[in-house]
Amino acid sequence: MKEKGILFILSGPSGVGKGTVRKSLFEKDTNLKYSISMTTRKMREGEKDGIDYFFRTHEEFEKMIDENKLLEHANFVGNYYGTPREYVERTLEDGYDVFLEIEVQGAMQVKENFPAGVFIFLIPPSLEELKNRIMLRGTETSDLIRDRLNEAKKEIEMMDAYDYIVVNDDVDHAVTKVEAIVKSEHCKRERIAKQFKKLLEVD
Amino acid sequence: MKEKGILFILSGPSGVGKGTVRKSLFEKDTNLKYSISMTTRKMREGEKDGIDYFFRTHEEFEKMIDENKLLEHANFVGNYYGTPREYVERTLEDGYDVFLEIEVQGAMQVKENFPAGVFIFLIPPSLEELKNRIMLRGTETSDLIRDRLNEAKKEIEMMDAYDYIVVNDDVDHAVTKVEAIVKSEHCKRERIAKQFKKLLEVD
């Protein structure tokens, strides 16, 4: 019995460095497959259907939305982008982990449609710095402190939907942590024990 | 604010190689402190109180049992051995992870007295092999298959109290997995978000 793969979702505020971390991660780990998105935008020179994107018409895409065949989708400047559920599920069944790098709104949609995913929130080191700053200094005006706390609170509210939080203080550090999360998730008792149990129920 | 350490418990059937994995792990990671046991056995030449063991009299040890000051304890050939709660908690407060290598009965006691611990079950590769054997062959007598399944089921029942399962197919593999578990546990949202929240409540 082949172990089923796990869907990992890397998300976080824009500008935090999700792409850099993902790129660096893919230079290392080989059991991860990057989730291929579906889009209605025109294919560019050199791009291939099913490799760079799944290219679809507006009508086809909207039909998939109606039939709930996307884990998430969004519309940017008139074109749809989304994550097809079938490709993700097939890849997981084949025993690969699927890695999805996505902005926060999309991640929340995936959370709803695929709660079994492992959600990793990448945060900028400035939040850490902010934390330290608020703690160590007592000199700022209470208005400024309040603004910063509110901002931090918003971040934290988003965090609550995630399983892990990784501070991107350094790309190598962050990648090592994501790798550790991937490895340790495969050791989770719920996953492995289920395999054993499934097996034992057979006879 | 210093991050509090985490108590990791490595357990598993006797002979699985817990000691080897622990030793190899301690050659690598430096933020782990090995939990020092308490005992009533005589101090041997070269041993130091508070380094090798906390050496106590029978009366002192039994007083600690009565006062629930041990995370677990057992009696081997007339001597008590146990894990003092205070040492573990102080070390965690100091920001170190504490690593406890222990047999299954002791781990179950720790689970009761310290449920916040992270419990890792080390299993022999033979269970995996057994799994494959049962699956791939259909030739064994049904009695033999039943015996093996029952044995496997007993193992699985013990597993249910654990957070992670690590197959000790190879010491390096197993150590890498335990290291990944230690690292990823520090990224768990529940732990980190709590820190942020605690901070935010202060002001």
Distance CA A189, CA B62 (A): 35
* Amino acid residing at B48: K
B164–A152 CB contact, under 8 Å: no
Residue B194 to chain A, least CA–CA distance (Å): 10
Are A56 and A40 in contact by the 8 Å Cβ rule? The answer is yes
Residue in B152, B166, B187 nearest the CB of A196: B152
Q: Across all residues in chain A, what is the average pLDDT?
A: 86
To the question of whether residue A125 is assigned a binding role by annotation, the answer is no
Average pLDDT of B94-114? 93
Please check the confidence at residue A159 and state whether its pLDDT lies above 70: yes
User: Could you tell me what percent of chain A has a pLDDT over 70?
Assistant: 82
- CA dihedral sign, ordered A167, A172, A175, A177: negative
For the stretch B38-68, pLDDT in tens is: 999 999 999 999 998 999 999 999 999 999 9
Residue B77 touches partner A, C-beta closer than 8 Å:
no
Out of 3.40.50.300, 3.20.20.70, 3.30.930.10, 2.60.40.10, select the CATH number for domain A7-35+96-202: 3.40.50.300
Measured between beta carbons, which residues in chain A are less than 8 angstroms from residue B197? 156
Q: Across all residues in chain B, what is the average pLDDT?
A: 86
Write b or e for each residue in B21-36: b if 16 or more Cβ atoms lie within 10 A of its Cβ, otherwise e: bbebbeeeeeebbebb
Secondary element (H or E) of residue B159: helix B142-159
Question: In which band, very low, low, confident or very high, does the pLDDT at B203 lie, cut at 50, 70 and 90?
Answer: very low
Residue A86 to chain B, least CA–CA distance (Å): 28
Measured between beta carbons, which residues in chain A are less than 8 angstroms from residue B111? none
Which of A152-161, B33-42, B132-141, B186-195 has the lowest average pLDDT? B132-141
B193–A159 CB contact, under 8 Å: yes
Give the residue from chain B lying closest to A200, CA to CA. Answer: B149
Distance CA B8, CA B101 (A): 8
Question: In which band, very low, low, confident or very high, does the pLDDT at B176 lie, cut at 50, 70 and 90?
Answer: very high
B196–A1 CB contact, under 8 Å: no
Q: Which CATH class is domain B7-202?
A: alpha beta
Q: What pLDDT does residue A203 have?
A: 41
Distance CA B38, CA B51 (A): 10
Measured between beta carbons, which residues in chain B are less than 8 angstroms from residue A9? none
Which of A49-63, A117-131, B173-187 has the lowest average pLDDT? A117-131
Which of A126-140, B5-19, B132-146 has the lowest average pLDDT? A126-140
Question: In which band, very low, low, confident or very high, does the pLDDT at B81 lie, cut at 50, 70 and 90?
Answer: very high
Q: Report the complex ipTM.
A: 0.81
A184–B189 CB contact, under 8 Å: no
Task: Domain ranges for chain B, please list them.
Answer: 7-202
Average pLDDT of B172-188? 96
How many other CB atoms are there within 10 angstroms of residue B186's CB atom?
Answer: 18
Distance CA B32, CA A65 (A): 49
Are A178 and A10 in contact by the 8 Å Cβ rule? The answer is yes
Distance CA A14, CA A157 (A): 16
Please check the confidence at residue A60 and state whether its pLDDT lies above 80: yes
Question: In which band, very low, low, confident or very high, does the pLDDT at A83 lie, cut at 50, 70 and 90?
Answer: very high
- CA angle B192-B200-A163, nearest 5°? 25
B163–A197 CB contact, under 8 Å: no
Q: Which two tokens mark B16?
A: 């699985």
A131–B196 CB contact, under 8 Å: yes
Q: CA nearest B108: which of B76, B127, B83, B126?
A: B83
Distance CA B185, CA A52 (A): 34
A187 burial class (0-12, 13-18, 19+ CB within 10 angstroms)? buried
